[in-house]
Amino acid sequence: MLKVFGAPSRYYQGPGAIDELGRAAALFGRSAALVIDGYVHGVLGERLVQLCADHGVSLHPLVLEGDLTPAVVAQLRGRAESLGADMVIAVGGGKSLDAGKAVARHLHRHLITVPTVASNDAPTSKNYVLYDAHHNLLAVEHMLFNPTLVIVDTALVATAPPLFFRAGLGDAISKKFEAAQCAANGGLNMYDAAPTATAQLIADGCADVLLADGEAALAAAGSGQPTPAFERAVEAMILMSGLGFESGGLSIAHALTRGLSKIGGVEKALHGMQVALGLLVQLDLEARDDGVHAQLQDWYGRVGLPRTLRELGATRIDDAEIALCAELSLKARHADNFPRKLSVAELAGALRRHAGA
């Protein structure tokens, strides 16, 4: 089977990296559609305009509010078409970056992503997620190629609340174990191809960095002052995690995000928090005897990741909801990247073992 590895063309990271935005944008033209949420636009909008104007690039804001639904995508695309922009710049959290991807795909333009949080690895990937009006995951769509440039200003990211950083830890720590299951069981990565050994090595390195530096990095989250540990963890959570999952593939931990929102209270949990619990469920089903499950439980406790459904926010443990969660999760393509075909009862049993008191 053909193997494929994908990645952004260029990745910038460090305090003040956002100052490179205008210079980078000027490589692609003189007009950019700026996809950004309302809050971030209020905080950074004028600065972004000036950074680009200094290099002869004009910005045209497309402000995103609420979930990224097909209707919202259609509206953004319509507004973007009328601009005739040479490129798309997406600034903000995961939803804003995903919206930028949807617009860039439609316009067939280069995309520059500028994350303001490290809650997930969306900045480097070509994937974007659509939701329905009730915040249920509707579909995962793809650009033809990854974002052209990724600019991660760690001084900016370090101002985000620790909750978002915790979610990023949870999303990223799973990639080593999911990529391993995908490779071992003939699975496909996000390019519908076999995973490369390079992707697994990157995912392994991601986990190593987070286990070594995640706790110290979390201490800097929200301070606005990135430390060396924070820099290493951010690179792992955005770049290494992104390359590891997209070219390495996913498994049960991410498949569970399709169903966990059906458990009362859990729908409010951030994606990375759901993935973190999903990884513990996956390791349970793997029946590992190498102590990794216990090691991660201990690390979760130190960095504040959920170890049970109760800690994830479940308001009750209902057998019908657990069964529906398992059923929907097993319909996700990632669920096939496992040594055996899991039954609803088997997955539901593992979820109950992580229900909590």
Q: In this predicted model, what pLDDT tens digit does every residue of 210-243 receive, in sequence order?
A: 999 999 999 999 999 999 999 999 999 999 999 9
User: Does residue 357 carry a pLDDT above 90?
Assistant: no
> What is the C-alpha to C-alpha distance for residues 243 and 341, in angstroms, rounded to an integer?
27
β partners of residue 113 = 90, 150
| Beta sheet of 149-153, edge-to-edge order | 10-14, 149-153, 110-115, 87-92, 31-37, 58-64
β partners of residue 36 = 63, 91
Report the pLDDT averaged over residues 265-285: 96
Helix (H, G, I), strand (E, B) or coil at 29: coil
> What is the C-alpha to C-alpha distance for residues 277 and 268, in angstroms, rounded to an integer?
14
Q: Is the dihedral of CA 66, 69, 75, 79 positive or negative?
A: positive
The two tokens of residue 9 are 């063309």
User: Does residue 139 carry a pLDDT above 90?
Assistant: no
Average pLDDT, the chain: 96
Which residue in this structure is represented by tokens 């430390």? 227
User: Does residue 136 carry a pLDDT above 80?
Assistant: no
pLDDT tens, 84-105?
Answer: 999 999 999 999 999 999 999 9
pLDDT tens, 319-353?
Answer: 999 999 999 999 999 999 999 999 999 999 999 99
Nearest to 65 by CA among 46, 89, 40: 40
> Comparing 131 with 219, which gets the higher pLDDT?
219
pLDDT tens, 64-85?
Answer: 988 899 999 999 999 999 999 9
Amino acid at 177: F
Distance of CA 347 to the CA centre of its chain: 24
CA dihedral 97, 155, 254, 134 (to 10 degrees): -50
CA dihedral 226, 157, 52, 23 (to 10 degrees): 50
Q: Are 239 and 151 in contact (CB under 8 A)?
A: no
User: How much of the chain, in percent, has pLDDT values that exceed 70?
Assistant: 100
CA dihedral 117, 337, 335, 209 (to 10 degrees): -20
User: How much of the chain, in percent, has pLDDT values that exceed 90?
Assistant: 94
Report the pLDDT averaged over residues 123-137: 88
What is the predicted pLDDT for the residue at 79? 92
Report the pLDDT averaged over residues 167-189: 98
Helix (H, G, I), strand (E, B) or coil at 65: coil
Report the pLDDT averaged over residues 117-144: 90
This prediction has a pTM of 0.96
User: Does residue 116 carry a pLDDT above 90?
Assistant: yes
What is the predicted pLDDT for the residue at 107? 94
